[in-house]
Structure 1
Amino acid sequence: MGILAGKAVVITGAGQGLGRAFATHAVANGAAVVINDVDEPLARKVADLISLRGGEAVVSGGCVTDPEQAQAMVDTCTAAFGRIDGLVNNAGIRYQADIGQDDPDRMRELVEVNVLGTLYCINAAVRSMRRGSIVNLGSVAMVGQPTALTYSASKGAVASITAGAANELHERGIRVNAVCPLAWTRMAAADTKATPSGPPETIAPLVTYLLSDRAAKITGQLIRFANGKLHVMGQTSPKAPVIESDEWDVDKIAEAFEEALEPEDPAWVRWGVRT
């Protein structure tokens, strides 16, 4: 029957690349899926392929930046399958631009897709989801990547969305995690400094696992999966020591840094993000 038998899942940006891989893998493991993509003919090709293989899939076109379209995806899922158990916020865009040379229109479009699209889809899904799993698409770019400031900012926002939604929804039995993958897709090809990586299908088992009941104790996590390496990413937390004083001035602050507070290397140094 498969690890996702009986579950209905909405997957955004599923017309190609990672989204297509997530959809076909979920169906192979028993799920019924809603295929969303701004390019509806691409979404229909994926749905047709799934149907030919004996799986269940329906299409909901439209862009995630439209909250009405986000709601329509969820409504399509509940109408077709009677429920919604999972949401994969895969739709996203990226591009390269030096700071100071970025195009404000492209910046706005990226934030609307990557950040607002994720928010709109979560907002719509939880209205109908009784229990289940939400998987967001993060990126290690969140630690700071040259020539990708807007993209890095958007993925930092996705990390915060993941943490906030997981905190708020856990008592309702809805888990929220983010996958930070590395795979060779059309989006990766847009990165002129991208390093070689595996196909999208290598990431799909992780998403299927997070959608399943076997991951019932996993929530609020940022999970990196790249080139055969799987690990949980550390999240923001205080670093000891915490120094207290009734009065602070510049000299006391300078003394604290010179004698006690040891700044960490920037995240992009620790992660070895290329320059």
Structure 2
Amino acid sequence: MLDLSGKSVIITGSGRGLGRAYALAVASAGGSVVVNDLEEESTNATVREITDKGGLAFGVAGSVADYEFTESLIARCVDEFGKLDGLVNNAGIYHVATPEDETELRMRRLIEVNVLGSMFAATHAFRQMASQGFGTIVNVTSGAHIGIRGFTTYGVSKGAVASLTYNMALEGQRVGVTVTGLSPMADTGKGENGARGLDAVGVDNRPSPAPVARLVTYLLSDQARNLNGQVVRLDSTGLSLLSPPHFRTRIAPGSFDSVDDVRSAFHTVLNGEVHAVGMPS
């Protein structure tokens, strides 16, 4: 079993579902946990589960979509534990909607929480970790950013989180900070809405959160530093790494002085490079 003794870790969105499982696993491995969720009741419930088993934890309720709150969340961890070893950037919301059915209000709310909330927490955590010269950030993304019908807005938000991971990982190389991405598939415990969401995309195999929680524990350990910038996937088929996005090496050269030049480039070279989009069905 990995030993996280002496490490202090903030886990956002850990009042329920996968976040709760992450918090319990980190505490079980000896880590000190800052539990965060939007609601006081669920935040405190996870804290009690940890402390009743002899673990060390305290809770801070609030929204990661609030820039000043996320700054204070990092500060509370440092005040209590003296440092910040890890952030699991887990807090997020989702809904199922086709582009025809989407609304401005729902799009704005989801982007505020999933994109800005993730950026706020990661940015404040990175600053603290850079000043220490060490630390690990695990950003929770989703296979939806590759493409799943019914999840356009959610997929957009999680694509942003993946890009946050790639860019922040490069910055982390300067200052000793490791940044990885996690794309989990498990029973999130989000109740009826969560079940409807999985049903909408044909997901009927909902594995336990336990393997994902063990993966998070590993990603927070010193043994996973070589995974800087990687997005790790765990689902019912197994464990894998997402290929980092890149422009393909096959290039159609030219000055492209006319539309015919552009057409020719596609018809002679690039059309053979076109791949299907979306998660495998």
Q: Fold match, TM over 0.5? A: yes
Counterpart residue type for residue 179 of structure 2 = V
Structure 2 match to 1:143 = 146
Tell me if 1:126 matches 2:129. Answer: no
- 1:231-270 aligned within 5 A: 231-261=240-270, 262-268=272-278
Letter in 1 for 2:274: E
Query: Structure 1 residue 227 and structure 2 residue 243: aligned?
Result: no
Deviation by residue 1:146-198 (Cα, 9 ceiling, x = unmatched): 11110010011011000010011122111111110100114442413233221
2:51 paired residue number: 51
Q: Which moved more, 1:139-148 or 1:150-159?
A: 139-148
Q: Distance in 1 between matches of 2:142 and 2:80?
A: 32
User: In structure 2, what residue type is equivalent to 1:86?
Assistant: G
1:112 aligned partner: 112
**CA RMSD, aligned part only?**
1.4
Q: Shift of residue 2 of structure 1? A: 4.7
Pairwise CA distance, 1:240: 3.1
Equivalent position to 1:161, from 158, 164, 170:
164
Structure 1 gaps, min length 5: none
d(CA) in 2 for partners of 1:239 and 1:124?
Answer: 34
Q: Is the 8 A contact 2:183 2:233 kept in 1?
A: yes
Pair 1:189 & 2:189 matched: no
Query: Relative to structure 1, is the Cα distance of residues 145 and 103 closer, same or farther in structure 2, using a 3 angstrom cutoff?
Result: same
Q: State the distance in 2 between where 1:53 and 1:3 align.
A: 17
Q: Which amino acid aligns with 1:70?
A: T
CA contact (8 A) 2:18 2:189 kept: no
Give SS of 2:113's match.
helix
Structure 2 vs 1, CA of residues 255 and 47 (structure 1 numbering), >3 Å: closer, same or farther? same
CA contact 2:35–2:60 (8 Å) conserved in 1: yes
| SS at structure 2 position matched to 1:163 | helix
Q: Shift in Å at residue 89 of structure 1?
A: 0.6
Contact 2:9–2:88, Cα closer than 8 Å, also in 1: yes
Write the distance in 2 (CA, Å) between the matches of 1:240 and 1:124: 36
Q: SS state of the match for residue 203, structure 1?
A: helix
Aligned residue number for residue 272 of structure 1: 280
Asked if the contact 1:224–1:233 (Cα under 8 Å) also holds between the matched residues in 2, the reply is yes
Match of 2:127, SS?
A: helix
Q: Report the AA paired with residue 145 of structure 2.
A: M
Whether the 8 Å contact between 1:107 and 1:150 is mirrored in structure 2 is: yes
TM-score, L = length of structure 2: 0.92
Identity %: 37
User: In the TM superposition, what whole-angstrom CA distance separates every residue of 1:9-39 from its partner, at most 9, and x where no partner exists?
Assistant: 0000000111000000001111000000001
1:213 is matched with which residue?
222
TM-score by length of 1: 0.94
Taking the aligned partners of 1:61 and 1:170, their CA distance within structure 2 comes to 32
**Whole-angstrom CA distance in 2 between matches of 1:12 and 1:99:** 29
Q: Distance in 1 between matches of 2:152 and 2:255?
A: 38
In the other structure, the counterpart of 1:18 is: 18
Any idea what the Cα deviations from partners look like across 1:110-134, whole Å, max 9, x if unmatched? 0011100000001111222221100
Does the CA contact (< 8 Å) of 1:60 and 1:72 recur in 2?
Answer: no
Secondary structure of the corresponding residue to residue 175 of structure 1: strand
